[in-house]
Each structure stands twice: as structure tokens, then as C-alpha cells.
Amino acid sequence: MKGHVLVAGFATRHVAQSAARAGYEVCAVDHFCDQDLFWCTEDRLKFEELDELPEAIDRMCRLHRFDFAVATSGAEEIAFPVRLCGTPRETAARFLDKLETERFFEEISVPVPRIAAEGVYPVMGKPRKGAGGWRNAILHSADEEREWASRYPEIPYIRQEIAKGIPASVCCIADGHAARAIAVNEQILRGDGESAFGFSGSVTPFDHPLAGQMRAIAEKIAAASGCVGTLGIDFVAGSGTPSVIEVNPRFQGTVDTVEMACGCSLFQYHVDACAGRLPEVPGAGEYAARRILFADRDTTIGADLKKLAPVVSDIPWPGAFFEEGQALVSVAGTGPTRKEALCALDKNISTVRQYLG
């Protein structure tokens, strides 16, 4: 056993699983506490609202002695009572603010959609804070903007020029001064409804003519950011130069497909980078695809999906209730080509839907 680690945040299964595979003993503080989180952790604490997270972390640290902690989404700015392995919370705070991130991109001269002038449409509306793209929307008029803004009263937002192309990301490992681009990923978005731009999966690797440019730009950003460990740089790959969208100063939702495709341990890369050691860039051995399934109506899970692991992850407990639109389960597929990986994913999704009825 390499060490005793606390992983804390809104969703932790992907990180806890990577840590356990790398030989660490893991405890987690998590909003979901799905079945497969139990399989890779020694102990877990569940919380409901994000403002309960700091107290839950303190409670877990009173129950166990940890060598270090790792923050996932929602915990980036929390002061942990044990040593944090990852981006310092003061640094992370800058990249959790989309306006500050925009200013950072302009400072280091990377291609980014500019802030749009008032009265100019269409624009991309984004809350200044928030992860996963769930509240982002294209606004075509002042009336649309007022209606959209009224759904999230008192939440500041930015108006940005629209970048056209395929959503993508680059998984990087940084030591605070230099960085390595580990993998370029195609991002799968919801595509409809109020959460049209919400993250719902990934394909690794992303074979695109701009993949090399995205790697180079991502390494430049990650090295200049001051982030430590694993982080993600979001792009839109259009024609010409890719547009940089955001920095995620933590483990990303692409962990599963990166590790499946590259056969690497992002958690061990993360720990090593925090000690000043950057990895060699792994090659992709196969293609990996993952998609999150969402409830199309209010749903109670009747079947036990654990028998479908490891094709499925984030596995709900039988009897769990989900409101329409909530994430149910993640499904994966792999293959020697992108087409075969996506075919395997579709086949596995069909199997899961049969179990879900």
C-alpha cells in the first residue's frame, strides 16, 4: 500500500478508482456514493449539498489518518485539514471564474473567444462559476438573454463570442512550471434542452487535424497556470486554429477514457507531478468511449446493474430514485478504431437500457 488518501468532491468515483488501482488505500467524501465507489474505497461519507462538504471532509479526517488529500469538482477551494496533493486552492479559484480565465488566456496570448459587446447577438452565455457546461446557452436576442438570466438570479455571467467546431479537451499533467499533454479527447455533450452544453462523455484519442496544435497550446497554458497535478484544457476544434474555452484545475470527467485508451494511471501521474516528476507521454493502445445516460422521466432503478461492470460505472443502488434529467449511469466501449469503440458503446448502452426497462 503506497499511502492513505482522501478523495473529496461532488463526484469522486473516477479518481478513487484510479487511486485504488495505483495501489493507494482510499477514503471518499462524495455526493453520490454509488456502488462502485464502495468497491474501491475503505470508507465513504455522503453529503447532499455542497455547503455540507467542508464539514464532511473534517469529519472524515477525524475518523482516519491520511497521508494527503485530492480535491475533485466542488472541493477545489476548500482548505483541507490534511496536506493537499494538487493545485493550490488560491490558484484553482482563478480558473473557476470564467472571466478571470478569459483574462488569463489573453495575458498569455492564446486563441480564445472574446467577450462580446452588449447588444451583439448571438452570443454564448455562461455563468462566471460552475462546472460541466450545464447552464451554458446560445442567446439570440435580448429577450432570450433576459429569460435565460432570470433562471439563475443573482449569478453573474459572461457573454462570449461563439466558437464553432467540435468540443474537445486535452488532459495535462503539470508540476507548477512545466507540463505534458497526455491525451486529446473528443467531448460528448448533451446536445438538447436546457443542458445542451453539459458534458456527457468522451472519446479518447481524438483524431483531428488540430490535435497537435491543441497539445502544444494546452502545454503552454498548463505550464503558465501554476496548476499542479492533473488538469484539463477545453477547446473547440474548428477550422484553422482551435479556440481555448476553459481550464479545469482538477481531475476531469475524461479520466476513464484516457486510462482505458492509454493504459496509464492518471492518479500516479498526479502524485508524481506534485513531487516534481512529469511522466513520459503514453501512446494510445486503443480507442475508448464513455457516455453518461440520463433519466428521460422520473425513474426508480429496479435492476442491479453491478453485473454489467466494468462496462458500466457510477452504478446506482437498486431502488434509487432519479428525477427526469438526472444522470443515471455511465457506459463504456472500446475498440481498435473510433468506429468500433462507438459501436461497442452503442451495443452496451442497448444492454443497459434493457436492464433499465
Q: Are 156 and 173 part of one and the same domain?
A: no
351 & 220 share domain: yes
Confidence of residue 163 (pLDDT cuts 50, 70, 90): very high
Domain harbouring 189, CATH code: 3.30.470.20
How far, in Å, CA of 111 to CA of 193, rounded? 29
Domain harbouring 58, CATH code: 3.40.50.20
Among residues 85, 102, 124, which one ends one of the domains? 85
Residues 299 and 181 in one domain: yes
**Mean pLDDT within 90-97:** 97
Whether the CB-CB separation of 283 and 259 falls below 8 Å is answered with no
Q: Quick one: average pLDDT of 267-282?
A: 97
132 confidence band (pLDDT: 50, 70, 90): confident
* Domains held by the chain: number: 3
Identify whether residues 46 and 131 lie together within a single domain. Answer: no
Whether 103 is covered by a domain: the verdict is no
User: For 215-263, what is each residue's pLDDT tens digit?
Assistant: 999 999 999 999 999 999 999 999 888 999 999 999 999 999 999 999 9
| Domain of residue 149, residue span | 111-160
Is 329 a residue whose pLDDT tops 80? yes
Whether pTM > 0.75 for this model: the answer is yes
The answer to whether residues 257 and 288 touch, using CB atoms and an 8 Å cutoff, is: yes
Do 248 and 231 form a contact (C-beta atoms < 8 A)?
A: yes
One domain for residues 178 and 156: no
CA dihedral 11, 15, 20, 22 (to 10 degrees): 180
Judge if 39 and 57 occupy the same domain. Answer: yes
The torsion defined by the Cα of 90, 91, 97 and 103, in degrees rounded to 10, comes to 130
Q: Given the C-alpha cell 488505500, which residue does it identify?
A: 25
- Looking at the structure, tell me whether residues 179 and 311 fall in a common domain: yes
